[in-house]
Amino acid sequence: MKLHLEKIYFCTGARNHDLLKFFPENLLSFEYDERVASFKALGLAKIAPHPVAVCTTSGTAVAECVSAMLEAHYSELPLVLITGDRPKKLHGTGSPQTIEHEALTRSCRGSYIEVDLRDLPELSLEGAKFPVHVNVLVDDTVAHDLPLTFHPNLDSVAAFFERVKKPLFLFSHERRSMASFVEKFAATGLPFYAETLSGGRERSTLKTEKHLVELFHSGGFDGVVRVGHTPLSKVWRLLEKRPLPVLSFDSRNLPALSFGEVVPMSSDALLESPGFWDVLRSIPSYTFSDQTLESLEALTARYPRSEVAHFQKLQERFSDGDSVYVGNSLVVRFFELTQTKRLSVFGNRGVNGIDGQLASAIGLATGTTKRITCILGDVTTFYDLSSLRDLPSNLNLIIMNNRGGRIFDLLNLDKRIVLEHTNDFRAIAQGFGLSYSNDMNDFGQVQVLELFPDGDEGKRFLKEWGQ
Ligand SMILES: Cc1ncc(C[n+]2csc(CCOP(=O)(O)OP(=O)(O)O)c2C)c(N)n1
């Protein structure tokens, strides 16, 4: 590495994970809070002989460094912000966790340098003006020459269904619940997958994300029809690795991929469009058989202390009509996997930041008299500790403390970025004057309920589940 840095505060994430291999071990400090990490870098830059870096994943993680960059800019400090980004073709598309990094630091940097990952080892900061923003493009997608087409209305939809005979219908989420749309769609008899934030999860005929991924790999569907914003499902990300025909109904008019067709219509607008339902009626019926639910039941019985089994037990505590706020990261996935009830589910899935999750749940609870149950991962909760000062009485926080950012275990990434720990929230909650328990039987009775799934059972569960 030719950057000649004093230290690199490496904030964990999937998008910047591949940069790790270029950074000398002795320079690294692993962090999860970008705002804190960037100010640590700023402080060190005041006395260090070499520039100091903070390295982040894509999305709001970059925005969290803007305050330190501003301070560095006006104090003339040698701060280097290194951000992992998605390839150029995904910029501006609304694809998962993709925002405009360059625009974020425009008012607080001396130099902006964009490099492909492979060129990072040769990059030098000679001649650069501090603070510097280095944006690294990491491309794990396949090259293709498929078009991106924007349609103003439904006119082209029939033509799509002439080419695609067995589509996967995928319903993600919108600003408001998509429950009415999902309900009407369910009556068509066509198979579909409704994510938890859609508000129609319990009606989903396709039950597990694992099943979708299996279908994808076995060629079970020949195209995808998305309704709603950028999906959470892994299968959506896989489309950048093996493209299929895609038709999106997205009120933001964003493709969320580098290819495909987009119609700028919300689920509400589709509900009121007879032409859409006419086209659906013309699709010959088909089914997808699914054994994954049975294997899920068998595995949660075998591993009752795994995280997924905890979510299954939590689901039993909810009643139809309850409101839930789900945060990152396995929380939202495992909640979706085990959801059977008709619930109002909220979350921040615009750009998937782990920041401000508890504060967002607090804001949500402030706007309603209904009870909000907020479920967060431990790292996500740590990120937002000061919000604990102010829990409204209709908010119950459940912390799924699996002792680190276990999503990175699931993704098989470098163990160092899991940031495994042995901390718990008991004394913190009590310090903030909050009632606390770690017994699931106290569900709904305490302000902070902390659950500790068994890591070994969780690992064995996921190995056998195969995802
Ligand atoms: C602001 C921000 N920084 C970093 C990330 C990358 N990131 C995604 S999930 C995650 C770890 C979450 O850990 P935890 O809350 O414990 O949930 P778990 O993965 O264990 O379910 C991180 C750091 C992000 N999405 N947003």
**pLDDT tens-digit readout, 230-282:** 999 999 999 999 999 999 999 999 999 999 999 999 999 999 999 999 999 99
Cis peptide before 131 (omega within 30 of 0): yes
The span from the CA of 329 to the CA of 252, in Å, is 24
Counting ligand 1 atoms within 8 A of each CB, the residue from 19, 307, 329, 383 with the most, and so the one to mutate, is: 329
> How many helices and strands, by DSSP H and E, does the chain display?
18, 18
What number of residues does the chain have? 467
- Which residues make Cβ contacts (< 8 Å) with residue 117, sequence separation at least 6? 18, 19, 136, 137, 138, 139
Cβ(84)–Cβ(55) below 8 Å: yes
Domain ranges within the chain, ordered by starting residue: 7-137, 148-281, 292-465
The span from the CA of 354 to the CA of 28, in Å, is 22
Confidence (pLDDT) at 158: 95
CA 429 remoteness from chain centre: 26
Quick one: 252 exposed, middle or buried, by C-beta within 10 A (0-12, 13-18, 19+)?
Answer: middle
The 10s digit of each residue's pLDDT in 303-360 is: 999 999 999 999 999 999 999 999 999 999 999 999 999 999 999 999 999 999 999 9
- Ligand 1 centre from 11 Cα, in Å? 10
Q: What is the pTM of this model?
A: 0.98
Nearest Cα to Cα of residue 318 among 301, 298, 335, 293: 335
For atom 25 of ligand 1, the residue with the nearest CA is 353
pLDDT at 1 over 80: no
pLDDT at 106 over 90: yes
The 10s digit of each residue's pLDDT in 107-154 is: 999 999 999 999 999 999 999 999 999 999 999 999 999 999 999 999
For atom 13 of ligand 1, the residue with the nearest CA is 405
- Ligand 1 centre from 105 Cα, in Å? 22
Nearest Cα to Cα of residue 348 among 328, 362, 363: 328
The span from the CA of 41 to the CA of 461, in Å, is 39
Same fold, 7-137 and 292-465: yes
Fold of 148-281: Rossmann fold (3.40.50)
In CATH, the architecture of 7-137 is: 3-Layer(aba) Sandwich (3.40)
Nearest Cα to Cα of residue 375 among 339, 420, 421, 418: 339
Counting ligand 1 atoms within 8 A of each CB, the residue from 352, 379, 401 with the most, and so the one to mutate, is: 379
Confidence (pLDDT) at 325: 98
Report domain 292-465's class.
Answer: alpha beta
